Structure formats: C-alpha cells, structure tokens
Amino acid sequence: MLEHKAITDTADWTKTAKRWEAWWSCDLYDRPLIIGSRPDPDAVDERPAGYNGSQARYWFDSQIMLEKNIHSINHSILYGEAIPRFDTRWSVAFSMLYGCKPCFNEHASWCHEIEVADSVYPRIEIDEKSPWLYWLLNSHMAISEASNRRYFTSPVMWGNHSADQLSVIRGINNLMLDIADNPTWVKTALRQITEDQINVFARMAYLDESCGLPGTTNYCGTWSPCSSLSFDCDISCMVSPDVYREMFLPPLLNIMDTVDHRIYHLDGPGAIKHLDTLLDLKGLQAIQWVPGDGHWDIIQWIPLIQKIQSAGKSVLIYAESEHIRTLLSELKAEGLCICTSSRTAHDEEFIFNEINTFYKS
C-alpha cells in the first residue's frame, strides 16, 4: 500500500505553493525551487503482482499501472518542491485512437504507423465508439479516483502533442516527405489531432478533480494553482525553424490557449534552433531544458539558460548536487527550478546547506 500522506497535509505545503506561484511569474518567493528525490532505505522491495503477469496486462491494465506507480513512489523520498505524480510511461497512446497498432515488451511501448496504399493518406478521425478511447478515459478515471490525494494525474501522461502523434500515425519518413510534397494535408491533420486532444484532454482534466488535490501538475513535474499543461514537439529536431513556425507551432498555440500556465519541453541540442521562436511567445511562461544523452553536464548550458531567463521565462533544469552552488552564482534566482537527485539523506542535507549558505552570504 502507498502510505505517503497527501502532499497538502505536509507542514511545508503553504511555502511550496507560494514558491510555485512565484515561479510561474518568473519571480521569487524566498529561494529557487528544488525538485529532489532519493531512494527510500526503508522501502520493502516487493514487486507488484502485475510484474509477473502478461506483458499486455502490464501495459493496459489500470490496476497494474497503479501497482507499478505505487511501487515506484514507495521506493523514493521526494523533497523540496517535488510533486508526486502518476506516470503511465505512455507517450504514444493517443495515436491508437486513430488506428495505430500498439506494440510492447517488458521495457517499452510503441505503435506501428498505419499502413495505407501508395498515394493514400490515413484517416485522421476518432471513433467515439473506439475501444481505445474507452480504455484511455476509463484508465484515467480509475487512476485519478485511486489517488486519494496522494498523487496528481494529468492528461499529458498519455502522450505527446499533435506533431509527435502524427509522426507515429504516418511514420516519420512518410511525414518528412509529406511536409515537402503535401503540406496542406499535414496542416489539416495536425489541426484535427489538436482539436481531438483539446476535447479528450478536457474530459481527462475533469477526471483529474477526483484526485482531491488543488491545482494541476504536468509531465514536466511542475505544480500550478491554475490549469496547466506541458507542451512538446520532439520531432521538431528534424525540421527547420521555418517549417516549425509554419506547421507545428500553430496547433500548439491552439491547445496552449486552453490553459493558464504553460511550460515547453525543449528536448536535446537539436531543438535549440527553435528556442528563439519559443522565447517570442508571450503566453509561454517556462522552458524545461533537457540536454539529452551525452550532454547532461549542466555547466556547459549556462549561457543557454541565461538566454531563457533574459527573455523573462522561468526555467526548469537538471543538475548534480555539486553544481548547485555554481548555478546559484551564475543564474537568476527568479524563475529558477533545479531538478536533482540524492543517494542519501546526507546528500539532501548538502543541497539545502548549499542553498542556505548562498542566500545568507
């Protein structure tokens, strides 16, 4: 059983909420935000029953999903402004609503593109009677109702936004050709997927209320007192800034208009070419910078982070504990959120000693 009490029952919740509220305004309550976690040394390593079941149940049974996440939450201690949230480990579930066939193994899930004849395009339309839509909504409902104020849920835990979903539906190679050969179809498809996501996400957001927790969270791990979503377009690494602005950005702006707080998941060096476009968006409050494999040393990205801060955007970054003092020295405290991890309680104490020493000096 998940024994952690509701996050809003903790003594520090009032300060946590105030720090997040200030962060969304690129402001500061008392110190930068820290999203931290470390292994729980007292956790009993009993894997849920679902781990021994079929792989299909592992990925599609909402009860097994619950057991997996409870197992994960029970084996870590969150600290700072970390928010417990549900992770389905699905990034392509929405593409199944259009006919993509799901595939999976014990480590990952993915979908095959929809096979069509040459010169034929897949139909971008959701069937309200689709068993996958039923599965998606009912799984979200079961997961939200089981929260009992212990974790947050969010619609985006079921997958990325329209461009990434279309790359699954159509196949990346086909989509790259479509962008050159039939951009009108691409724009129409992206617009339809976005409209569908707005409708389905609204139904999920209503279900999120059954968690019994105030505000909202998202896949980036932030908390907001208002409605919020995280936004992404991982396939943007494969297109030029002009194509991004013309095709991929408009549907993102449409779904951004449905919430109050917005954070963009900027993933990898290949996505940096779109940063100027994102920084020009007045309605985008924050950027999550994820350097990607082989690029995690945060010190090399200080100029990039400074650029984001200079544009008046809040930023969420990842750093080892030994780099925190350098980051505090080089970056603005306003709108800064640092994600980190510890091995022991002593490591956690070191992180906050660094912060306290810096702000007292």
pLDDT the model gives residue 3: 45
pLDDT the model gives residue 139: 95
- The mean pLDDT of 258-269, rounded to a whole number, is 97
| pLDDT over 70 at 354, yes or no | yes
Query: Which sign does the torsion angle of CA 35, 40, 45, 46 carry?
Result: negative
Rounded to a whole number of angstroms, the CA Rg of the chain reads 21
Side-chain half-sphere exposure of 329, counting CA atoms within 13 A: 9
The mean-pLDDT minimum among 62-71, 117-126, 140-149, 186-195 falls in 62-71
pLDDT the model gives residue 1: 35
Q: What is the mean pLDDT of the chain?
A: 91
Which is more confidently placed, 45 or 118?
118
Kindly report the pTM of this predicted structure: 0.93
pLDDT the model gives residue 286: 98
3-state secondary structure of 103: strand
Q: How many CB atoms lie within 10 A of CB 293?
A: 6
Q: How far apart are CA 153 and CA 116, in angstroms?
A: 35
**Could you tell me how far CA 320 lies from the centroid of its own chain?**
20
Q: How far apart are CA 187 and CA 40, in angstroms?
A: 48
Side-chain half-sphere exposure of 355, counting CA atoms within 13 A: 17
Amino acid 264 reads Y
CA angle 334, 337, 342 (to 5 degrees): 140
User: How many residues make up the chain in this entry?
Assistant: 361
| pLDDT over 50 at 323, yes or no | yes
Give the closest residue to 114 by CA, choosing from 77, 158, 167. 167
The mean-pLDDT minimum among 7-11, 43-47, 210-214 falls in 43-47
pLDDT the model gives residue 48: 55
Give the closest residue to 241 by CA, choosing from 230, 249, 251, 253. 249
| pLDDT over 90 at 280, yes or no | yes
Dihedral of CA atoms 31, 261, 87, 333 in degrees, nearest 10, equals -20
Q: Write down the H helix ranges in 182-301.
A: 183-208, 241-243, 249-256, 275-279
Question: 318 vs 220, 276, 341, CA distance in Å?
Answer: 11, 21, 9
